[in-house]
Amino acid sequence: MISQLFILSSKGDRLVYRNFRGDGGDDVTDAFYRAVTSLPGDQAPVFMAREGQHFVHVRHGGLYVGATTTADTSPFVLVEFLNRLVTLLREHCGTLSEKSVSVNVALVQELLGEMVDFGYVQTTATEVLRSATHGEPETTKAFSLLDLRSVGLFGAETQQSRVAPGSVTNRPVLPPRGEQGGRREVFVDVVERLTVVIAANGTPLKVDVQGEIRLKSFVPGACELRMGLTEELSVGTEEQCGYGRLPLAAVAFHSSVDLEEFEQERVLRVTPGPGEVTLMRYQLAEDVAVPLPFRLLPSVEWEPAGRLRIHLKLRCDLPPKNHAINVVLQLPLPREASSLAQELSSPEQTAELQGGGRSLRWAIPRCQGGAQLGAVFRVQLPPTPPLGLGPAALTFELPALTVSGLRLRWLRLSAPPGAPPGPPQRWVRHLTHSDSYVVRL
Amino acid sequence: MPYLGGEEALRDLRRALSNPHVQAEPLRYRAAVLRVIRLMTQGADVSGLFAEMVKAGAAADVVQKKLVQLYVCAHAPRMPRLALLAVNTLRRDCADPSPAVRGLALRGLCDLRMPGMQEYVQQPLLSGLRDRASYVRRIAVLGCAKVHRLQGDAEVDGALVNELYSLLRDQDPIVVVNCLRALEEILKKEGGVVINKPIAHHLLNRMADLDQWGQSEVLAFLLRYRPRSEEELFNILSLLDGYLKSSSPSVVMAATKLFLVLAREYPHVQADVLVRVKGPLLAACTSESRELCFTALCHVRQILSSLPGHFSSHYKKFFCSYSEPHYIKCQKMEVLCELVNDENVQQVLEELKGYCTDISVELAQGAISAIGSIARTYTEQCVGILTELLGLQQEHITSAVVQAFRDLVWLCPQCTDAVCQALPGCEDIIQDSEGKQALIWLLGAHGEKVPNAPYVLEDFVENVKTEVFPAVKMELLTALVRLFLSRPAECQDMLGRLLYHCIEEEKDMSVRDRGLFYYRLLQSGVDEVKRVLCSPKSDPSLGLLEDQTEQPVNTWASEFNTLAPIYGKARWALVTAHQPGEPCYAFSPCTDSGNRGTGSLISEGSKEVLKVHPDTGSLTLIPDVVLTAEQFEKTWLSLDISCQQSLPWVGTVHPDTIQTALHVVHIQTIAMSKAGVQPWKAYFTAQDDSGCLFLTELLLEAEDSGMQVAVKQSEAKPEALQAFMSVFRTAVGAVAGLRS
């Protein structure tokens, strides 16, 4: 049961506030913000008890989306509901930020009114809410010349118009009323998160791959969607885990997915309404050898008078046609470093000291598969033995690649009767990003 | 905040709202209303616009209606007379042909929280319950609960309750769930909605139609249904089987709880469910949403408290990620401590060692104390790692390591030598109070094994004038007096100087008093000092008290999937007791070593017991129960024994010690034999907050025979009895442990 619900900006300003049950003072948001900010550590616990009230909140896009509740409520329901609320706000407002929420206050209030009554969740289905709300989303994005890049030059198909830019999904899923057309598009993303720990001798200690197939549909009305997954897939304890198979340890499907053809042909069938839905969550079996995208070969020399010479060699083991972007390496240093001298292999790379000199940050905007990058850093430290260096943490994104090898073979759409002619645009995107990629030194 | 709701802004808005030109243009009208709502959200006082806003609510625009309702509901309790203006508009809308408008108006009507609303709401509410549109019925059902809440302690309307019960058969799933919610609120005083066999089976059949929120809630309502037979129970469980695989963690957890509670007499079913829920829980633990991850980790810890080995093979899932926030890393470290076993200890320690050099001081110290707690089982490896960390010569690391050593030596005396060898050199690095206290305690208690202990303490004595923490000074006094007993020649001179400083120059009264105390104690002769100060230097039994491992699943099944596991037991007890200011009785065995004499055993025992007390969760014993010996005898004879146990006990009994220890947990002594009498008997009484009496007899027939406990209970409440027994056992156990 939810007593009050609120959205606060990062500075504690009240953007949306709703008191569902009329109990508790209206100053709860101030109490909440005080509690959150006065907690030690950089982040606050999700649940807090203050003066007989329980707060629960999630943070998204710098906003606090929070609620007060009673003790016997399921914490999973609360967290899941708040996360769902965030997704819905994204769907309706395009993006979630202080600006977009305050511009769309009327719509957000309308949504909340339909979603929760007297503190009880009524519905969170996009289509239902769509029919029950009447407000129009106002997008906050200003006109920008850069957006024109997806327009073909004199109607010619350029390279760029074939690639969906990353921000294209950041718009309300529902076209404004009256405009029947809109851009009818379906996005299917296969996103994997990679959690890796590599021991000092280079052997992987832990490789954890979690993946999701997300669907975001901008097509009004229902249309049937069929997608074929990699055929080598095998789930759980099935006996066919031979060579070349892709064994998944755990799979969970969204309740709307029709699995009739999954066992035999690895085909998912779903009839989505507009909105975002996670069709499938999976986890790669632990004993599968996944090719790791990066190797780090460090060598550290301790020079007298507190100088530390760190030579890092970063090898990108991706196939040559793939590449990694936004690669950042963080290396904690044993003491506060006072100065840094660097030799990097290309000008677009940068290196700097962070956290008052306690860590070194090496940023590489783009790294082609098969490349090997070297860097030499000289750090000035207080003159004590160089213990406690590392472990190094890498963050990166691998576009158009899934490390597990799970891919969408094909995607077919059958338009509903009465739909405008021409099939909706289909986009399939694959992406791997590092949740945590730690190399011990 | 004058810039928000200044007079000027209000006047502008009023002018805009009452301007006929604005009113004629729906979009401009709505924009003006929206400005009022924005001001209201920011906290400005916009109550002056009430009349204009009510008028705006009569417009045809639905969005505007909703906004106005939001405004009216927020302000109605403060201005009931003006709010009556809104009632007319709303009542008219309740008969609108559009279900959306009908529902909206009905919701608005029920949300007006002001006295005297019933007569206006009654009629629309009843017709709403029978409305054709499910949207209106959903709102009407919850409306009943709202109106009931408004009336406060008014009598329950039997006809309405019957109507709601019959609506449980409604074809709209949300109406069904709302009916349960409304009945639960209306019948709160009578124990909530009744789930009998037909209702339970009806709900089970409707489960598939519900969305995830409805499913988790219905599963929670089903908790109170008791199946009549084993066959029915297993039928229900097999019906619910699919929900353990739901893609929504909240449904999985609600189903798990239901399984655990329904199968409370079938431990193998419970174990089986916990195995099956492993996958979804682990998935939630590694979820992208930090908040979900945190929630799941808390529940993993709860399960581990009963099944320590449950997640051991998945220990790698609980390794911290680089980018995770603190609170998740801390939870994960706690989990790692609990699931460590012979196979994974090497890898877990290796991982924790990596965190010890983290940039964040709190995380590093947390990791060190985590290694310290694993050291209770895997002493040698951990002491090796901790000693290695001292080589880093980092202030916060050394301090945390020495604190871990102190706690470890107290619990695992076998590692004393290794610890003592590691200590030299630490004194130059440690700067904080906690670390200094730990170091000084170690040097005082085990100084005979550290060759340079007197010289280290001498440095502290030299600098005592500039020492800022009184606790450090107290610790120094105690440690030096102790060291003086084992190495008098080296310590006599500086002890004299320290005592002189503390008595003559010290400004902190407690330090001065402690100084005087030791001075007088020393005057009474060395034998007396030894008798007071030389208590045992370690106590492994405290370790058992600290982690009462493997509590049965049933003790927490009813709290699973509530906020209780999130806060943890100790904090939960404080939170539910509505005493946020009460200090937590965390007992660290060595912070107060000054009074660790034989004479103070009882007070130490009571501290232990106090710490145990919040752990009892549901049971709260009332202090100062008045029950005369006659009343006790009468009640005792009239009741049957509800629980009989034998507690380990060796030697004779010190009645005072037992009496004090039990008094601390609010168990009062009625009568007891003198010390040394055989058989020794004692009678105790206690009462919990619901009035249930616990009468207890202790019987020790001969030395070494064990203590016989018999408990009689005035009301049959097995859970409370279990909790009471655990309190009693711990209290008596603490006394027994201290004696041996």
Instruction: Kindly state whether residue A348 falls inside one of the protein's structural domains.
Output: yes
Residues A380, A389 contacting (CB under 8 angstroms) = no
Residue A156, min C-alpha distance to chain B (Å): 40
Pick from B30, B289, B317: which is nearest to A83 by CB? Answer: B289
Residues B506, B514 contacting (CB under 8 angstroms) = no
| B42–chain A Cβ distance below 8 A for any pair | yes
Instruction: Kindly state whether residue A78 falls inside one of the protein's structural domains.
Output: yes
Between chain A and chain B, how many beta carbons pairs sit less than 8 Å apart? 216
Q: Which residue in B387, B693, B445 sits closest to B590, CA to CA?
A: B445
Fill in the DSSP letter of residue A258: B
* B257 Cβ neighbours under 8 A, 6+ residues apart: B219, B220, B223, B557, B560, B561
| B525–chain A Cβ distance below 8 A for any pair | no
Beta bridge partners of A268: A227
Fill in the DSSP letter of residue A10: T
Structure tokens at B222: 């089903």
Beta bridge partners of A49: A54
DSSP B469-537: -HHHHHHHHHHHHHHHHHSHHHHHHHHHHHHHIIIII---HHHHHHHHHHHHHHHT-HHHHHHHH---S
**Beta carbons of A124 and B323 less than 8 Å apart:** no
Q: What is the dihedral of CA A8, A13, A15, A17, to 10 degrees?
A: 70
Q: Which residue in A275, A290, A322 sits closest to A211, CA to CA?
A: A290
The reply to whether A18 and A104 lie within a common domain is: yes
Query: Radius of gyration over alpha carbons of chain A, in Å?
Result: 25
The reply to whether A26 and A103 lie within a common domain is: yes
Residue B637 CA to residue B458 CA, distance in Å, equals 65
Q: What value does the mean pLDDT of chain B take?
A: 83
Q: Is a pLDDT exceeding 50 seen at residue B74?
A: yes
Contacts of A49 in chain B (CB under 8 A): 567, 571, 575, 580
Contacts of B567 in chain A (CB under 8 A): 47, 49
Q: What is the CATH number of the domain that holds A229?
A: 2.60.40.1170
pLDDT band at B549 (very low <50, low <70, confident <90, very high): low
Residues A390, A331 contacting (CB under 8 angstroms) = yes
**Beta carbons of A122 and B250 less than 8 Å apart:** no
Pick from B181, B298, B562: which is nearest to A74 by CB? Answer: B562
Contacts of A43 in chain B (CB under 8 A): 290, 325-327
The reply to whether A268 and A311 lie within a common domain is: no
The reply to whether A302 and A256 lie within a common domain is: no
The reply to whether A71 and A9 lie within a common domain is: yes
pLDDT tens digits along B600-621: 333 333 333 333 344 444 677 7
Question: Please, which residues 156-195 of chain B have a Cβ atom closer than 8 Å to chain A?
Answer: 174, 177-178, 181
What mean pLDDT is predicted for residues B682-688? 83
Contacts of A83 in chain B (CB under 8 A): 289, 291-292
Residue B593 CA to residue B601 CA, distance in Å, equals 11
pLDDT tens digits along B208-267: 999 999 999 999 999 999 998 999 999 999 999 989 988 899 999 999 999 999 999 999
Question: Please, which residues 237-276 of chain B have a Cβ atom closer than 8 Å to chain A?
Answer: 245-250, 253-254
Q: Number of helices (H) and strands (E) in chain A: give both, helices first.
A: 7, 24
Residue A107 CA to residue A114 CA, distance in Å, equals 11
**Beta carbons of B359 and A46 less than 8 Å apart:** no
Half-sphere exposure of A209 (CA within 13 A, CB side): 25
Instruction: Kindly state whether residue A311 falls inside one of the protein's structural domains.
Output: yes
Residue A386 CA to residue B716 CA, distance in Å, equals 66
Place of tokens 């302690």: B153
Beta bridge partners of B688: B621
Contacts of A80 in chain B (CB under 8 A): 212, 248-250, 292
Which helix (H) or strand (E) is A253 found in, with range? strand A246-253
Contacts of B113 in chain A (CB under 8 A): 22
The reply to whether A256 and A382 lie within a common domain is: no
| A438–chain B Cβ distance below 8 A for any pair | yes
Q: Which residue of A has its CA nearest to B27?
A: A135
Domain count, chain A: 3
pLDDT in the model for residue A414: 78
Place of tokens 């948001």: A29
Strands A425-439 and A185-198: what pairing?
Answer: parallel
Instruction: Kindly state whether residue A86 falls inside one of the protein's structural domains.
Output: yes
**Beta carbons of B250 and A253 less than 8 Å apart:** no
Number of other residues whose CB lies within 10 A of the CB of residue B241? 13
Last residue of a domain, one of A132, A162, A197: A132
**Beta carbons of A440 and B354 less than 8 Å apart:** yes
Which helix (H) or strand (E) is A276 found in, with range? strand A275-284
What's the longest Cα–Cα distance across chain B?
Answer: 101
Residues A136, A177 contacting (CB under 8 angstroms) = yes
Number of other residues whose CB lies within 10 A of the CB of residue B611? 18
Q: Which residue of B has its CA nearest to A332?
A: B359
Residue B661 CA to residue B653 CA, distance in Å, equals 13
DSSP B343-356: TTHHHHHHHHHHHH
pLDDT band at B540 (very low <50, low <70, confident <90, very high): low
Structure tokens at B431: 């700067």
Q: At A224, which amino acid appears?
A: E
**Beta carbons of B247 and A281 less than 8 Å apart:** yes
Residue A424 CA to residue A413 CA, distance in Å, equals 8
**What is the separation, in whole angstroms, between the first and last Cα of chain B?**
67
Contacts of A64 in chain B (CB under 8 A): none
* A325 Cβ neighbours under 8 A, 6+ residues apart: A365, A366, A367, A396, A397, A398, A399
Structure tokens at A76: 């999973």
The reply to whether A250 and A274 lie within a common domain is: yes
Residue A342, min C-alpha distance to chain B (Å): 22
The reply to whether A336 and A281 lie within a common domain is: no
Residues A154, A198 contacting (CB under 8 angstroms) = no
Beta bridge partners of A41: none
**Beta carbons of A13 and B42 less than 8 Å apart:** yes
The list of chain A residues with pLDDT below 70 reads 40-44, 139-171, 173-182, 236-245, 383-388, 415-422
Q: What is the CATH number of the domain that holds A43?
A: 3.30.450.60
Residue B723 CA to residue B730 CA, distance in Å, equals 11
Q: Which residue in A9, A110, A129, A123 sits closest to A65, CA to CA?
A: A9
How many angstroms from the chain centroid is the CA of residue B464? 40
Q: Verify cis geometry, omega within 30 degrees of 0, for the bond prior to A391.
A: yes
Residue B666, min C-alpha distance to chain A (Å): 25
Query: Radius of gyration over alpha carbons of chain B, in Å?
Result: 33
Q: Give me the sheet containing A307-316, strands edge to edge.
A: A294-303, A307-316, A372-380, A339-344
Query: Mutation test of the interface with chain A: which of B3, B291, B336, B566, choosing the one with the most A Cβ atoms within 10 A?
Result: B291
Q: Which residue of B has its CA nearest to A65?
A: B291
Helix axes B509-523, B526-533, angle to 10 degrees: 130
User: Where is average pLDDT lowest: A233-237, B21-25, B59-63?
Assistant: A233-237
**Beta carbons of B38 and A391 less than 8 Å apart:** no
SS3 (DSSP) at A197: strand
Residues B142, B181 contacting (CB under 8 angstroms) = yes
- What are the structural domain ranges in chain B? 454-544, 609-736
Instruction: Kindly state whether residue A263 falls inside one of the protein's structural domains.
Output: yes
Residue A254, min C-alpha distance to chain B (Å): 6
Pick from B138, B357, B394: which is nearest to A122 by CB? Answer: B138
Q: Verify cis geometry, omega within 30 degrees of 0, for the bond prior to B679.
A: yes
**Residue A234 main-chain phi, psi, to 5 deg:** -135, 145
pLDDT in the model for residue A159: 40
pLDDT band at B590 (very low <50, low <70, confident <90, very high): very low
Pick from A74, A109, A197: which is nearest to B70 by CB? Answer: A109
Share of chain B above pLDDT 70, in %: 89
Contacts of A254 in chain B (CB under 8 A): 247
What mean pLDDT is predicted for residues B388-399? 88
Query: Mutation test of the interface with chain A: which of B146, B359, B428, B618, choosing the one with the most A Cβ atoms within 10 A?
Result: B359
* A29 Cβ neighbours under 8 A, 6+ residues apart: A6, A8, A12, A14, A17
Structure tokens at B453: 């202990």
The reply to whether A9 and A125 lie within a common domain is: yes
Strands B641-647 and A246-253: what pairing?
Answer: unpaired
**Beta carbons of A72 and B562 less than 8 Å apart:** yes
Q: Which residue in B150, B164, B79, B82 sits closest to B119, CA to CA?
A: B150
Residues A167, A94 contacting (CB under 8 angstroms) = no
pLDDT in the model for residue B595: 36
Share of chain B above pLDDT 90, in %: 31
* A108 Cβ neighbours under 8 A, 6+ residues apart: A7, A16, A89, A92, A93, A101
| B112–chain A Cβ distance below 8 A for any pair | no
Convert B634-695 into a string of H (helix), E (strand) and C (coil): HHHHHCCEEEEEEECCCCCCCHHHHHHHHHHCCCEEEEECCCCCCCEEEEEEEEECCCCEEE
pTM: 0.79
Question: Please, which residues 604-663 of chain B have a Cβ atom closer than 8 Å to chain A?
Answer: none
Pick from A117, A195, A210: which is nearest to B142 by CB? Answer: A117
| B113–chain A Cβ distance below 8 A for any pair | yes
Query: Mutation test of the interface with chain A: which of B563, B572, B584, choosing the one with the most A Cβ atoms within 10 A?
Result: B563
**Beta carbons of B66 and A109 less than 8 Å apart:** yes
**Beta carbons of A50 and B37 less than 8 Å apart:** no
Strands A47-50 and A224-229: what pairing?
Answer: unpaired
| B100–chain A Cβ distance below 8 A for any pair | yes
Contacts of A435 in chain B (CB under 8 A): 321, 323
**Beta carbons of A117 and B138 less than 8 Å apart:** yes
**Beta carbons of A255 and B247 less than 8 Å apart:** yes
**Is this complex's ipTM strictly greater than 0.85?**
no
SS3 (DSSP) at A392: strand
Contacts of A50 in chain B (CB under 8 A): 580
Strands B693-700 and B680-687: what pairing?
Answer: antiparallel
pLDDT in the model for residue B740: 46
Range of the structural domain that residue A308 is part of: 294-399
pLDDT in the model for residue B73: 86
**Residue B549 main-chain phi, psi, to 5 deg:** -75, 160
Question: Please, which residues 296-325 of chain A have a Cβ atom closer than 8 Å to chain B?
Answer: none
Contacts of A122 in chain B (CB under 8 A): 138, 174, 178
Q: At B579, which amino acid appears?
A: Q
Instruction: Kindly state whether residue A215 falls inside one of the protein's structural domains.
Output: yes
Residues B690, B713 contacting (CB under 8 angstroms) = no
Strands B707-713 and A63-69: what pairing?
Answer: unpaired
Residue B302 CA to residue B315 CA, distance in Å, equals 16
pLDDT in the model for residue A167: 53
Structure tokens at B18: 């009452």
Residues B370, B352 contacting (CB under 8 angstroms) = yes
The CATH homologous superfamily for domain B609-736 is: TATA-Binding Protein (3.30.310.10)
Beta bridge partners of B687: B693
